[in-house]
Amino acid sequence: MRASLRFVLALLALVLAAPGSAALELRGVDASDHPTIRLTAVTSTPTAGAPSLRENGGPVAALRAENLGRAKSIVLAIDRSQSMKGAPLADAIAAARTFIAAKPAQDRIAVATFATEPVLLTGFSTATTDADGALRSIAVDAVQGTTFFDALVLASGALAEESMPGRVILAVTDGNETRSEATLERAIRSARDAGAAVYVVGIESSRFTPEPLVRLAEETGGAYYGAASSEALTEVYTSIARELQRTWRLEYVTAARPGDRIELTAKAVGDEAARTEIRLPGAAPAGSSEARSPVLPEAFLQSTWGALAIGGGVAFLVLLATWFAFASARGNWLKARLSPHIAGGEQKAKREREKNRLALAAGVFTATEKTFGHFNLWKRLASLLERADLPFRTVELVYVMCASAMIVGLMAAAFGPPALVVLCALGAGALLPYGLVSFRARRRLKAFESQLPDLLTTIAGSLKAGHSFRQGIQAVVDEGQEPSSKEFKRVLAETRLGRPMDSALAEMSRRVGSPNLEFVLTAVTIQRKVGGSLAGIFDMVAETVRNRHQFARKVKGLTAMGRASAYVLIGLPFFIALLLTFVNGEYMQPLWHTSTGHKLLLLMLVMMGIGTLILRKIVSFRS
């Protein structure tokens, strides 16, 4: 009975002593760079995922989150004024060396000192050798004075040039500001502009004034740590390192206007939600927020798709204005209005519409063709369209590619990825129409190649029956198999207009792009020069082309496994990268958001390109 009573009492004590979920802490909300909002969120325990953030109850757009316990750039600033002489400076250096030795391997660190003048002793580096050597060389300044605010401005300027999104200034001082040219406000503004969180360690004494340092830390999203003596600095550094693992720097783009009041709500796993309310800088709109009646709902303006729709609308209006500017110079709009009232205007307008389906863009199209029409790339696009048998002009395909790139790029940018990903999305969007046209051209060529042996046999049979070569081509046209019938019909039409048969066939060969057809025309040209049975030559060439097709299909079947392996090896890295990004985005952030990660991505793409060429060489066989 007593054992049961003790068990119940112990269980009750555990229940009563169990703490509730800790609250998330929000610091340093900065709206000075409107519409970008920056703030710091500190969780109660380290978390793998970033806290969620909502503005006025709705999700924020393009949220970027960086954990300061991972890859970051740090400026370690140490006071070396005369008040630090002796044990305080020695303890500060020893604690800083311990902090540097225990830093994450990917952190880039630089060392700075300040007394009568701030000095950046080292550049940023992931190695600890330079920083450790610089710390060993620090000595007390011979002149009295402290330029703490100037040191913060110097450190902020250095961090602004860094590619790491996570940026921290860790400063140690035991005295008050005495000789800086910069003010406290300028120091805070410089740190905010650089996106740096300032952590200040103050060795407190009776003459020490911590209030400016506390304000500096709070308004930049950092923290102030007071140390009773220099012996406690090692423990303070350890506490800062632990807090950095729980600290997230959040940044997003707000849809609110200057002067609006917004409420931010952050929530992390295991923590209670934290809320804060700020007013955006700038003049408040006329009337209260309740009295205003916006043209579009707030939910639409604050949503990702709303911002995307507005951006697309603005881009369309700019493009439309450009079209009007070019079209007005040529008077196309005026001609279209006057043509129904002029004799023969209807037929003339019809011919004009057939020539330019987009009459409004005729000026733009004409100017573009005159500018780029002589480039080889433009001519290759024209040949591709002709080979695909599409009723489009080259300039229309170019503008469709530009529009596709803009749409895909805007859709990708709406999710807030790195600039490299947006550029890749722009390129993919531009290549999408080209890929569709190229696919249609390849499919049409494949169909022509498959029909070629049979149509050669048909021409040979017609020649054996005593018909002429032109009548043999007419027999192919009468069979009506696309695309060969359409191409040979065009050849007959050109010959009726006076073009020589050899020239018309050569133009068809260039237009179709079939190597086997070139082989056939070469044989026909040789026969015309040296004589012989044209029907026999066609039979021989048809058999040769048929054997080439059979051999190519056999090679394709034998290399099917190799090609499948190549597709898997090429596509697997992209699939794994996307999967890991969605499953654990923080794990992939150093790859997407750091200069080292961008270099690795570029190296990966180059190596994959080389591997692709090697695999293609292995599985291909020029038949």
| 3-state helix/strand/coil string of 115-171 | CCCCEECCCCECCCHHHHHHHHCCCCCCCCCCCHHHHHHHHHHHHHCCCCCCEEEEE
Range with the poorest average pLDDT among 44-48, 124-128, 317-321:
317-321
Which pLDDT does position 111 carry in this prediction? 92
pLDDT, tens digit (0-9, with 9 covering 90-100), for 520-553? 778 777 777 777 777 787 788 788 888 887 887 8
Contacts of residue 580, Cβ cutoff 8 Å, sequence gap at least 6 = 587, 588
Q: Which two tokens stand for residue 107?
A: 């952190």
Q: Which two tokens stand for residue 356?
A: 């330019």
pLDDT, tens digit (0-9, with 9 covering 90-100), for 222-253? 888 887 777 777 888 888 888 888 888 888 88
Q: Which two tokens stand for residue 617?
A: 């060489």
363 assigned to some structural domain = no
601 assigned to some structural domain = yes
Q: Are residues 465 and 604 in the same domain?
A: no
Report how many domains make up the chain: 4
Which pLDDT does position 338 carry in this prediction? 56
Torsion of CA 12, 17, 23, 24, to 10 degrees: -110
| Residue 27 dihedral angles phi and psi, to the nearest 5° | -135, 160
10 assigned to some structural domain = no
Q: Are residues 439 and 498 in the same domain?
A: yes
Residue that the structure tokens 């978390």 belong to: 47
Q: Compute CA distances 105 → 68, 72, 100, 108, 109, whole Å.
A: 13, 10, 10, 8, 10
Q: Are residues 239 and 171 in the same domain?
A: yes
State the CATH number of the domain containing residue 232: 3.40.50.410
Structural domain range at position 338:
305-358
Mean per-residue pLDDT for 69-75? 86
48 assigned to some structural domain = no
pLDDT winner (highest mean) among 189-193, 300-304, 499-503: 189-193
Which helix (H) or strand (E) covers residue 62, if one does?
A: strand 61-67
Q: Are residues 224 and 76 in the same domain?
A: yes
2 assigned to some structural domain = no
pLDDT, tens digit (0-9, with 9 covering 90-100), for 167-181? 899 888 887 777 888
C-alpha–C-alpha distance, residues 408 and 430, integer Å: 8
Q: Are residues 417 and 456 in the same domain?
A: yes
63 assigned to some structural domain = no
C-alpha–C-alpha distance, residues 97 and 130, integer Å: 11
Report the Cα 67 to chain-centroid distance in Å. 21
Q: Are residues 566 and 509 in the same domain?
A: no
Q: Are residues 312 and 406 in the same domain?
A: no
Looking at 245, 262, 291, which one is the last position of a domain? 245
Looking at 220, 245, 270, which one is the last position of a domain? 245
Q: Are 43 and 137 in contact (CB under 8 A)?
A: no
Q: Are residues 522 and 597 in the same domain?
A: no
Q: What percent of the chain has pLDDT over 90?
A: 3
pTM of the full predicted structure? Answer: 0.50
Range with the poorest average pLDDT among 32-36, 189-193, 216-220, 305-309:
305-309
CA-based torsion, 269, 193, 117, 75: positive or negative:
positive
pLDDT at 198 over 80: yes
Q: Are residues 522 and 603 in the same domain?
A: no
| Residue 464 dihedral angles phi and psi, to the nearest 5° | -65, -30
How does the average pLDDT of the chain come out, rounded? 78
615 assigned to some structural domain = yes
C-alpha–C-alpha distance, residues 157 and 78, integer Å: 17
Looking at 223, 245, 267, which one is the last position of a domain? 245
pLDDT at 72 over 70: yes
Which helix (H) or strand (E) covers residue 8, if one does?
A: helix 2-17
C-alpha–C-alpha distance, residues 42 and 49, integer Å: 13
Q: Are residues 389 and 537 in the same domain?
A: yes
Q: Are residues 231 and 332 in the same domain?
A: no
pLDDT at 343 over 60: no
Contacts of residue 544, Cβ cutoff 8 Å, sequence gap at least 6 = 519
Give the model's confidence band at 292: pLDDT under 50 very low, under 70 low, under 90 confident, else very high: very low
Q: Are residues 94 and 234 in the same domain?
A: yes
Give the model's confidence band at 416: pLDDT under 50 very low, under 70 low, under 90 confident, else very high: low
Mean per-residue pLDDT for 490-507? 84
318 assigned to some structural domain = yes
Q: Compute CA distances 34 → 30, 48, 180, 253, 260, whole Å.
A: 9, 29, 29, 8, 11
C-alpha–C-alpha distance, residues 127 and 490, integer Å: 71
